Amino acid sequence: MSVKDQVIAIIAEQALLDPQDVTLDSTLESLGIDSMGVVESIFAIEEAFDITVPFNANAPQESDFDITSVASIIDGIERLRVQQAPA
């Protein structure tokens, strides 16, 4: 499964939606994912991709990981996978 499909699967599960209803430009807010849902989604992403996501629920906008949309989450994961790849 591609990163995109995996992320969509995670987000769809959290939003109780069919993956087909989650698109790259969907925002977590538009999918009805609240702050606890965001924290759970990030945990699922960390587990799925074996990365550590720098995310503080107190200041989501200041975290070095953009959770605005599905596309921005995928970009963030790609970047972290490069940064955190084992040497």
Partner 1 sequence: MKRVVITGAGTVNPLGHSVAETCAAMRDGFCGIGPLEIRDVARLQIRIGGQVKGFEAEGRFTRQQITLYDRFTQFTLVAAREAIAQSGLTFEGKLAARAGVVLGTAGGGVSTWDDNYRAVYAEGKNRVHPFVVPRLMNNAAAAHVSMEWNLKGPSYSVSSACASSNHAMAQAAMMIRSGMVLAMVTGGSDSMLCFGGVKAWEGLRVMSRDACRPFSANRDGMVQGEGAGIFVFEEYEHARARGAEILCEVAGFAMSSDASDIVMPSREGAARAMAGALADARLDSADVGYINAHGTGTAANDKTECAAVADVFGAHAERLMISSTKSMHGHLIGGTGAVELLACIMALRDGVIAPTIGYEQPDPDCALDVVPNVARDANVTVALSNAFAFGGMNAVIALRKI
* Binds partner 1 by CB under 8 A, chosen from 55, 65, 76, 77: 55
Please report whether residue 57 would count as binding partner 1 according to CB under 8 A. Answer: yes
Please report whether residue 39 would count as binding partner 1 according to CB under 8 A. Answer: yes
Contacts 24+ apart (CB under 8 A), 15-20: none
* Binds partner 1 by CB under 8 A, chosen from 50, 62, 82, 86: 62
Please report whether residue 58 would count as binding partner 1 according to CB under 8 A. Answer: yes
Q: For residue 55, how many other CB atoms are within 10 A of its CB?
A: 19
C-alpha count within 13 angstroms, C-beta hemisphere, residue 2: 5
**Rounded Cα–Cα distance for residues 13 and 81 (Å):** 23
Using the contact rule CB under 8 A, the part of the chain among 4-12, 14-22, 23-31, 50-58 near partner 1 is 50-58
